[in-house]
Amino acid sequence: MKRLITSFGLSFALLGACVAQAADDAAQCAAAAGTYRSGVIVKGPKFAHGQFRKGVELSHTHLKMKADQDGQIYDVAIDNVFASGFQAGQREVPASLRSIRVADRVAVCGQLYTRGGVGIHWVHTNCGKRPTPNKPDGWLKVLGADGRSGANLENNSAYCGLFN
């Protein structure tokens, strides 16, 4: 019985830590003028070509995520130029995003959209500009088994000059 009570206690403590982490991430996202969603990856990652700006292709990676908040499947559109390890001329999903697998849990902060389905984009740095709901200071983080957020995978500022 004591073992069962200890097990429940540990489970509740872990659940409390997960809820607190999600609340912190949601608050940080709101402060960055974004919309927060977390959930489980159901499909992806998939590379998509894009337009060129100043000789650099603005390609994307797409994931499908079932959101904790409303159970909807969101298309998460990720700008590759802001991904950790992105290289100009790269014609594939950057390594930092390629490591995301079906059944992984992620947290995203960005801008919701509804054209062609339900999705979220602008899940990347806004290069130090004042965040607005149309251009939030977004992010993408993989959640660990303990519910804690990993590093922002969309914080590469090396290509911010493309948008000035």
Report the share of the chain in percent with pLDDT over 90: 80
How many angstroms separate the CA atoms of 145 and 122, rounded? 26
pLDDT of residue 10: 39
How many angstroms separate the CA atoms of 75 and 137, rounded? 19
> How confident is the model over 86-101, as pLDDT tens digits?
999 999 999 999 999 9
* 164 band by pLDDT with thresholds 50, 70 and 90: confident
pTM for the whole thing? 0.84
* CATH topology classification for 2-163: OB fold (Dihydrolipoamide Acetyltransferase, E2P) (2.40.50)
Contact between 48 and 62 under an 8 Å Cβ cutoff? The reply is yes
Domain ranges of the chain: 2-163
pLDDT of residue 13: 40
